[in-house]
A = this chain, B = another copy of it.
Amino acid sequence: MHARVHRLGMRDPADVSGLAALIDAGEIDPAAIVAVLGKTEGNGLANDYTRGYLTQSLKLLLGEHAERPLYVFSGGTEGVLSPHYVVFSVDSTTSAGHANRGQSLGIGCARTRAMQPAEIGTLAQVSVVQAAVSEAMRRARLEASEVEFVQVKGPLDPAAKDPGKSMALSRVAGAFGVGLALGEIPAGFDERDFLQNLSIYSPRASCSSGIEVRVNEVMVLGNSAAWNGPLSIASRPMRDALDLDAVLGVLADLGIQRTPEGLARVRAAMVKGEPDASGAVRGHRHTMLTDGDMNAQRHIRGALGGLVGGVLGDGRIFVSGGAEHQGPPGGGLIAVIAESAS
């Protein structure tokens, strides 16, 4: 059993020609696709419909195989970020490629039941996300210590007075659910901790929310001897939006030199971050939270894209804002999937 990862560009949110070509060429088996993760070129906020548009376009392409995969899209390709999607599929055969250190990338997915609007951002959502993460780990035969990255996509309350707040609370409930399932966050918290007690966090949770889903969707990625193939994943928390060392560190974890050959081994990169709520980064005032023209999420995605894109030499990065309780406050996390050196 091995995981396969293909990263594909888009001309627009309805352009799924890249995947169509790979399916036509026999490169990707549509029945084997378990998740598609991507960045679309909307604003990434409540009225961003590019996520739903890409989802609908992919489902039209996949036809009878449309219902299995998770579709996890984050809007907003600010700055050097490039619209793209990453197709994760699982091949039940043994891969010819060799893994790093005897462990290979493994993938597990799960979905929760549909949330009622009143459940968004509550302990009820935490609980179902926790169960789904555990189920995804079980399916992937991944121990908590082997997990490097958990992506959650949750719903928002479309009738909320403040849609941005509803989106944030959905992400928070996802992060607590992941943290519980991975044993990073001990029980004993309650809803008053949400968005308040930021010392509680999961350094491996990446949560998004959007109007196009009613359920929570979960994808767990880790390295395990139960999987084979040439891919592996590494992740690190980012202490703030300037944390170049975390980016360089995750490359080091994967044994990648910052040369063209080394960087060509990268198959996907996922970054989560947020504008520091204190209004300053390393002591210097930022204006992300007081800009009435440009949303704070657009600010932080653009900055993180510039930093990580500069290191990797590639703007095809899943950079997602809204890192509440996902990594340290004012920071976030980075995960990179790469092929082993040949």
Q: Which residues of A contact B (CB under 8 A)?
A: 9-14, 41-50, 52-53, 56-57, 60, 77-84, 158-159, 161, 163-164, 211, 241-244, 247, 258, 277, 279-282, 284-295, 298-300, 302-307, 309-311, 313-316
Whether the pair B56, A306 counts as a contact (CB closer than 8 A) is no
**Which 7 A-B residue pairs are closest in the complex by CB-CB distance?**
A45-B292, A306-B306, A79-B303, A302-B302, A303-B306, A82-B284, A307-B310
Q: In the complex, A82→B305 CA distance in Å?
A: 18
Residues of B within 8 A of A310 (CB): 241-244, 247, 306-307, 310
Residues of B within 8 A of A306 (CB): 79, 241, 302-307, 310
Secondary structure at chain A's binding surface: helix, strand, loop or mixed? loop
Residues of B within 8 A of A305 (CB): 303, 306
Q: In the complex, A12→B210 CA distance in Å?
A: 13
* Closest CB in chain B relative to A231 CB, distance in Å: 21
* Closest CB in chain B relative to A257 CB, distance in Å: 13
Contacts A13-B52, A244-B310 supplied; 17 other A-B pairs, CB < 8 Å? A12-B211, A14-B49, A41-B291, A44-B292, A47-B290, A49-B49, A56-B60, A60-B60, A80-B241, A81-B287, A82-B286, A242-B313, A247-B310, A284-B315, A293-B294, A305-B306, A306-B310
A79-B300 CB under 8 A given contacts A41-B47, A48-B292, A295-B292: yes
Whether the pair B48, A286 counts as a contact (CB closer than 8 A) is no
Q: In the complex, A252→B187 CA distance in Å?
A: 49
Whether the pair B290, A56 counts as a contact (CB closer than 8 A) is no
Q: In the complex, A254→B311 CA distance in Å?
A: 21
Q: Which of A79, A284, A304 has the largest count of B CB atoms less than 10 A from its CB?
A: A79
